């Protein structure tokens, strides 16, 4: 007999992206670390990130999105490059960890824009 799948409880639609990111935080010994990782999907409220580093749950992190250097003469709109987050879920793989991160602030609110997107329930494919 097939099991019924529980309805997805996520509030924000996820965008499936594979983008390089850095995770910055403090380890169990109190030392700062900077780890290269890949964001596999992102929403207004959080992200799923793959990394090789094992982290304890509920650790506070910042997710940094690297940007190419731009000449000073080019005027670009202000963008978010560092997001504060809390680790809320860890799924262990063979040589990696999948980290479920919850942002301290919604993405639109971080960028100084009101968050107007409707909360949606969407299926998770990852």
Tens-place pLDDT, residues 24-83 = 998 878 889 999 999 999 999 999 999 998 887 778 899 998 877 777 776 766 666 889
d(CA 54, CA 98): 9
Nearest CA-CA partner of 85 in 40, 22, 32? 22
The span from the CA of 8 to the CA of 18, in Å, is 22
Please give the model's pTM, rounded to 2 decimal places. Answer: 0.71
Is 8 among the domain residues? no
Overall average pLDDT of the 103-121 stretch = 62
Query: By residue range, what is the domain housing residue 41?
Result: 27-66+79-110
> Does the residue 19 lie in any domain?
no
Is pLDDT at 4 greater than 70 in this prediction? no
In a domain, 51, yes or no: yes
The b-or-e profile of 28-63 (16+ CB within 10 A means b, else e) is: eeeeeeebebebbbbbbbbbbbbbeeebeeebebbb
What is the total count of domains within the chain?
A: 1
116 inside domain: no
State how far the Cα of 104 lies from the Cα of 30, in Å rounded to an integer: 21
């Amino acid at each position: 007999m097939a099991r019924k799948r529980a309805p997805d409880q996520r509030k924000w639609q996820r965008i499936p992206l594979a983008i390089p990111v850095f995770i910055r935080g403090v380890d169990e010994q109190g030392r700062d670390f900077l780890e290269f990782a890949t964001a596999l999907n992102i929403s207004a409220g959080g992200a799923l990130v793959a990394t090789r580093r094992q982290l304890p749950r509920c650790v506070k992190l910042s997710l940094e999105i690297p940007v190419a250097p731009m000449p000073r003469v080019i005027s670009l709109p202000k963008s978010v490059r560092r997001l504060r987050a809390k680790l809320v879920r860890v799924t262990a793989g063979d040589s990696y960890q999948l980290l479920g991160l919850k942002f301290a602030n919604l993405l639109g609110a971080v960028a100084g824009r009101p968050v107007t997107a409707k909360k949606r329930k969407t299926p998770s494919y990852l």
